[in-house]
Amino acid sequence: MLDLSHPIWRHPLKFSDAPPSSDQGLPLGDGRVGVSLWAKANIICLSLDRADLWDLRPIPEYVGEDYRWDLVAAAHRAGEHDHLQTLLEEPYNRAGPTRLSAGRLELTFAAPATHWHLERATGLARIEFADGSELVAVITATGSIGRLQVKGTAPTVRLITPPFGGPPEELSPDPGFNLSRHNAWDLGYPAPVMVANDALDGFFQKGFGDFAFAVAVAHETGDDLWQAAWHVATGSDEDLLQATVVTVKEALTRPFAGEAQAVADWWADYWSRGRVQIPDPLIEQTYYAGLAQFGAAARRGCPPAALQGVWTTDDGRLPPWKGDYHHDLNTQMTYWPAYVGDQLEAGLGFLDWLWETRQGCRDWTHRFYGVAGLNVPMTADIANRQLGGWRQYTHSVSTSAWLAHHFHLHWRYSQDRQFLQDRAYPYLKEVCDFVEAISDRRDAHGFRSVALSSSPEVGDNRPEAWVEGLSSYDLSLFRWVLGAASDMAEALELRDQAAHWRKVEGEFPPYSLSETGSLLVAQGVAYPEHHRHFSHAVGIHPLGLFDSLEGPGADRHLTRATVAELDRASGDFWMGYSHAWAGALSARIGDGETARQRLLDYQAAFVFPNGFHANGDWRRLGYGKAPFGAFTIEGAMGASDAIQTMLIQSAPGRMRLFPAIPADWQDVAFDGLRADGAVLVSATVENGRLCAVTLRPQSPVHIQLAYRDRVSTLELDLNAGQVLTLDEGQIAQLQTAPTLSAF
């Protein structure tokens, strides 16, 4: 049972007006299946989804003889840009491969809905109707089964298949610029096989190749109580539908109250970690909205969260950006809150997938780049295979290094030596093997370089998006992964390997800086005003290559100059995730006032009422010039990460409490946030003064502890299992230390 004093109880999702579409509905999910509840008049629509619904048709261009890195580089230098667009980008413009929708369940009620309520604390959705009826919906804690219960007038049921066979009678209006380039029927699937009777509806849908899926809903009425169970199953067996029917019928025999309680218990455990209390209700709501979506979309044992998690848009079309895995910030940002938020188990779902798809990525690396080691396509299907798209980024040389950061974070925040030995270091070693091989050429100064470098998504897909030399993005990721691999090798006492990676790291050039000392995109390429991606600044956040607060003066100047440049350019073409990332960057330099404003702007203009990230300024409030509402999930989790970065920052041997809270946050606290070195931390500020700090190390660690903008003056040696509550003298030492600005 979740403590009723927990802040999550303050942030249920409530509407009085009916959500008009699936991307604005009440979202439920268990990492494998999801449902969004919305309405058309008296019809409650339940848009169904399952994470492994994929059309996986092959892309012939990516096994052709001219699909090679050296040939791509030569064609680029020869000005053969139309050829490269056809070879590398055109495949993405086809309908498949793509994520798929599972269809829709429509429940017609006698009266309109008057109140919509999602209890984020328990994972239970509730809709009330004008005639006193009530619908309660939940996804079970095991089995990925949706359960529904209606008290009052029973609804009529209609199960609607995705329109693979052709345009439906009631086709939604064209959504405009939302990146849905194709309709479901463009995939060329056969019509579904349907079953229906008074208590059951279902269909079997054949997809590409031997893939198929089935959906079934069973329902019954008795004693003024209507109940239903639904399920989405994947496979290739012709008996899949019958098996799915058996599943929902069996589920309907289990007491609804017991299923709902099991889900509430799961969420109680989830919310027991990473609790924050913030005096600004909107910022606190933003934090918990992101964590609620993360808990519903990202779970171990399930596919990792793709662009839309388990809520693929249901409008008769294929999802924006194919609903795929974008590794140029989307998957990374989605999982950022897992570490400080102490949701390591959920984060492992992503790492398991990256580990299990290595062989396919190795094969692609060898076939396309012609070298050993491991790189990963930047746009990928559920098998982590290349989907194509803008050529400069989908074939980036640093994508695997970007993804390797999550292996490193899990090791640093868990201190799990077995994970380090069996997974983290082996993964990074293969990435470093690739980095060393792909950068074997030398520039005019003798530094390592690559044939083609880029910085997502600066330059879009114009030829100049490939830059001369190394972009700051590629350089930061190369330097970071080599340094991280060296640290891991040292921890495993593989000293020769550690020394080798340090040597290779030292062979890369220095960063290219502007006249003001900010990071350039690349030599001679400045950050374009208003650009949505801050890929050139990845070394500041999340990589933390530069000590923004207490490091050498050059680090502090570089980080401040780079973030100041972003601040001056903010606006026109930023997306919602841009504001979230900018908030974290401001927090990294200790600027809590700007970090808060970025989060408030994010919430005001780039979020649907249900908490989903809409990408653009969909309300047309003047926050940007891209007023479209293409839903993706990473922005919400990026905002949660920015809030965590305001509350605590840590690195090996160092921890800083409340490094970027605004001056008027006089009462703020967190409990059970996780720091580098596997330390659980709780801290409280009351009336503007630090009054309580408790450290619970799960591994032996030495740390220098600091508070806000003050120098680290408190050094602590902690033992695993210890619970250390700082005494008044230690807290006073933290509060009275000289400020960093004095040094």
Contact 377, 75 (CB under 8 A): no
Q: Model's pTM, two decimal places?
A: 0.97
* pLDDT for the residue numbered 179: 66
Task: Render pLDDT for 74-91 as a digit per residue (tens, 0 to 9).
Answer: 999 999 999 999 999 999
Segment holding 391, helix H or strand E: helix 391-394
| pLDDT value, residue 457 | 94
Average pLDDT over residues 177-205: 89
Here the tokens at position 547 are: 């000590």
CB 493 within 8 A of CB 426: no
C-alpha dihedral, 546 to 547 to 548 to 551, nearest 10°? -130
Q: What is the DSSP string of 12-38?
A: -EEESSPP-SGGGSEEEE-SSEEEEEE
- List Cα–Cα distances, 191 to 184, 185, 202, 651, in angstroms: 12, 10, 13, 55
Class of domain 654-742: mainly beta
Residue 742: pLDDT above 80? no
| Residue 370 Cα to chain centre, angstroms | 31
State pLDDT tens for residues 409-427.
999 999 999 999 999 999 9
pLDDT value at 129 more than 80: yes
Q: Is the pLDDT of residue 743 over 50?
A: no
CA distance 734 to 26: 44
pLDDT of residue 376: 98
Alpha-carbon span 131 to 247, nearest angstrom? 32
Give SS3 for 113.
strand
Average pLDDT of span 57-72: 97
221: confidence class by pLDDT, cuts 50, 70, 90 = very high
User: Each residue of 1-18: pLDDT tens digit?
Assistant: 778 899 999 999 999 999
CA nearest neighbour of 35 among 311, 296, 294, 263 = 311
Q: Does the pLDDT value for residue 28 go beyond 70?
A: yes
Average pLDDT score, the chain: 95
Those residues whose C-beta lies under 8 Å from the C-beta of residue 618, and which sit 6 or more positions away, are: 605, 606, 608, 627, 628, 629
Quote the tokens at residue 716. 């602590």
DSSP state of 252: H
pLDDT given for residue 391 in this prediction: 97
The CATH class given to the 7-54+99-271 domain equals: mainly beta
Q: What angle do CA 317, 320, 326 make, to 5 degrees?
A: 145
C-alpha 396/C-alpha 452 separation (Å) is 8
As to burial, measured by CB atoms within 10 angstroms (0-12 exposed, 13-18 middle, 19+ buried), residue 484 is buried
Report the distance separating Cα 705 and Cα 160, nearest Å.
Answer: 58
Residues 250-276: tens digit of each pLDDT: 999 999 999 999 999 999 999 999 999
What's the rounded Cα separation, in Å, for the pair 293 and 306? Answer: 12
Neighbouring residues of 335: CB distance < 8 A, sequence distance ≥ 6? 298, 304, 305, 347, 350, 406, 637
Apex 108 CA angle, 102 and 110, nearest 5: 165
CATH topology of domain 60-95+331-532: Glycosyltransferase (1.50.10)
What residues pair up with 674 in beta bridges, in sequence order?
680
The residue written with tokens 């809709």 in the block is 127
| Contact (CB, 8 A) for 430 and 437 | no
Residue 195: predicted pLDDT: 94
CA atoms within 13 A on the CB side of 66: 9
Q: Return residue ranges of the chain for CATH 2.60.40.1180.
A: 654-742
The pLDDT, as a whole number, for residue 246 is 96
Residue 668 DSSP one-character state: E
The boundaries of every CATH 2.70.98.50 domain in the chain are 7-54+99-271
Which whole number is the average pLDDT over 587-615? 97
What does the alpha-carbon distance between residue 673 and residue 128 come to, in Å, rounded to a whole number? 37
DSSP H or E run through 417: helix 417-419
Q: If we measure between CA atoms, which residue out of 127, 118, 120, 122 comes closest to residue 263?
A: 122
The pLDDT assigned to 539 comes to 98
Q: In 3D, which of 441, 432, 439, 430 has the Cα closest to residue 500? A: 432
For residue range 412-471, what is the model confidence (pLDDT) as tens digits? 999 999 999 999 999 999 999 999 999 999 999 999 999 999 999 999 999 999 998 999
Higher pLDDT, residue 628 or 673: 673
Q: Which two tokens stand for residue 65?
A: 């003889």
Cα(584)–Cα(643) distance, rounded to whole angstroms? 7
Indicate whether 177 pLDDT > 70. Answer: no
Query: According to the model, what pLDDT value does residue 218 have?
Result: 98
Res 175: pLDDT: 55
Extract the tokens encoding 531. 């650009």
